[in-house]
Amino acid sequence: MLKACLNGARGRDEHPAVPVTPAELAADAARCAGLGAGAVHVHPRDADGRESLHPLVVAAALDAIRAARPGLPVGVSTGAWIEAQPAARVAAVRAWTVLPDFASVNAHEPGAEAVATALHERGVLAEAGLWTVDAVGAYARWRVPAGRILIECMAEDRAVALADAAAMLAALPSPAAGSPPVLLHAEGPATWPVLAEAVRRGLHSRVGLEDTLSLPDGSPAPDNAALVAAALAAGAR
């Protein structure tokens, strides 16, 4: 499965095609899904352009995307930079009136297991975001199941990112029946080499303006659709 990560923490100051409003997210999601993306990951924004977990903000983004592309799985982030207090993140999840299909939870952040538990209780697939080998260990101690594991290579150096990917994948608990699927991705210059590694290993991956502003040849990406098309051409599915 190729997931399109449409905006992340980026603003239009970094790229003019970053979608911010619900209508923009919906249009981009529909274009990416039409090309073959199997899911989208978005960071809903409030009226001031700030990332938000507020029920009304999350609902507006999800409703717009689902109206534009019914049936497309949609996920959001629960990152601590959006809401610093773990209890507030849990409260936000419990207050959502419209539920995403999945939501990422960074295992290294304080309160991660509590947030994952709140998602699980509401029937939302929790994605365990693992940035380091230590985070793999933290995730392994969760008492709540994750529906998907995100191996997220944060180093921009390609060789370092690939080494980090190998180390984190090796540190995962031994696969067993019912083990959650793994999605492998990176950011910046490492995006494309790590996506190629995901393809080689038969893992899910993702691409979009959240992760990179460049196409595989280093040229500027005009938009999310171009990134998705390039990833599909590279063998991501």
pLDDT of residue 178: 67
Residue 165 near residue 197, CB atoms below 8 Å: yes
pLDDT of residue 179: 85
Rounded to an integer, what distance in angstroms lies between the CA atom of residue 2 and that of residue 157? 23
pLDDT of residue 25: 98
pLDDT of residue 237: 80
Say which amino acid occupies 83.
E
DSSP per-residue string spanning 45-108: B-TTS-B---HHHHHHHHHHHHHHSTT--EEEE--TTT---HHHHHHHHHH-SS--SEEEEETT
The upper half-sphere exposure of residue 175, i.e. CA atoms within 13 Å in the direction of its Cβ, equals: 7
User: Cα separations (Å) of 223 from 43, 120, 150, 200, 226?
Assistant: 16, 33, 23, 25, 6
Q: Tally the domains of the chain.
A: 1
| Closest by Cα among 155, 115, 158, 149 to 130 | 149
CATH number at residue 51: 3.20.20.70
Residue 164 near residue 187, CB atoms below 8 Å: no
pLDDT of residue 11: 93
Rounded to the nearest 5 degrees, what angle is found at the Cα of 21, between the Cα atoms of 185 and 70? 70
Per-residue pLDDT of the chain (237 residues; tens, 9 = 90+): 999 999 999 999 999 999 999 999 999 999 999 999 999 999 999 999 999 999 999 999 999 999 999 999 999 999 999 999 999 999 999 999 999 999 999 999 999 999 999 999 999 999 999 999 999 999 999 999 999 999 999 999 999 999 999 999 999 987 765 689 999 999 999 999 999 999 999 999 999 999 999 999 999 999 999 999 999 999 998
User: Cα separations (Å) of 177 from 116, 146, 161?
Assistant: 21, 14, 28
Q: Whole domain around residue 160: which residue ranges?
A: 2-233
Say which amino acid occupies 17.
A
pLDDT of residue 86: 97
